[in-house]
């Protein structure tokens, strides 16, 4: 599971993180989202779905509607044509593999 690999790599680099399994887009677990906004400096949504209209976009909209100050990093497949390839190749190409996600999180937390 990608999220577990990301968490393990971040822990090895000295960054603490938690994983919450958002099993359903609707209904969203708004209690969890509200708690996360107060507890974490960066909230990362990860999905094997296109960015546009995806879970991360719904989370961002909910935070905006609630006027909660939450820094959000949305990991999703870009809204562009994706060529054919093995799952590992496509994950890497679209930036949703563990190494790419770790890099994005580290870049965000260092800036």
The CATH number of residue 6's host domain is 3.40.50.920
> What mean pLDDT do residues 76-104 have?
94
At residue 84, what are phi and psi to the nearest 5 degrees? -85, 155
Query: Distance (Å, rounded) from C-alpha 81 to C-alpha 62?
Result: 28
Q: What is the pLDDT of residue 47?
A: 94
pLDDT at 71 over 90: yes
Q: Which of 63, 69, 60, 74 is nearest to 105 (CA)?
A: 74
Predicted TM-score (pTM) of this structure = 0.89
pLDDT at residue 69 in the model: 87
Q: Residue 57: is its pLDDT beyond 90?
A: yes
Q: How many domains does one find in the chain?
A: 1
Range of the domain at 69: 2-110
Instruction: Please say if the pLDDT value at position 83 is more than 80.
Output: yes
């Amino acid at each position: 599971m990608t999220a577990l690999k990301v968490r393990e790599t971040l822990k090895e680099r000295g960054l603490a993180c938690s994983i919450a399994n958002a099993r359903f887009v609707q209904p969203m677990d708004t209690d969890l989202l509200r708690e996360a906004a107060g507890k974490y400096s960066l909230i990362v949504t990860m999905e094997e779905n296109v960015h546009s209209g995806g879970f991360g976009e719904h989370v961002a909209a909910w935070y905006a509607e609630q006027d909660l100050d939450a820094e959000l990093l949305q990991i999703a497949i870009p809204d562009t044509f994706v060529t054919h390839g093995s799952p590992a190749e496509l994950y890497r190409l679209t930036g949703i593999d563990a190494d790419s996600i770790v890099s994005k999180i580290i870049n965000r937390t260092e800036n």
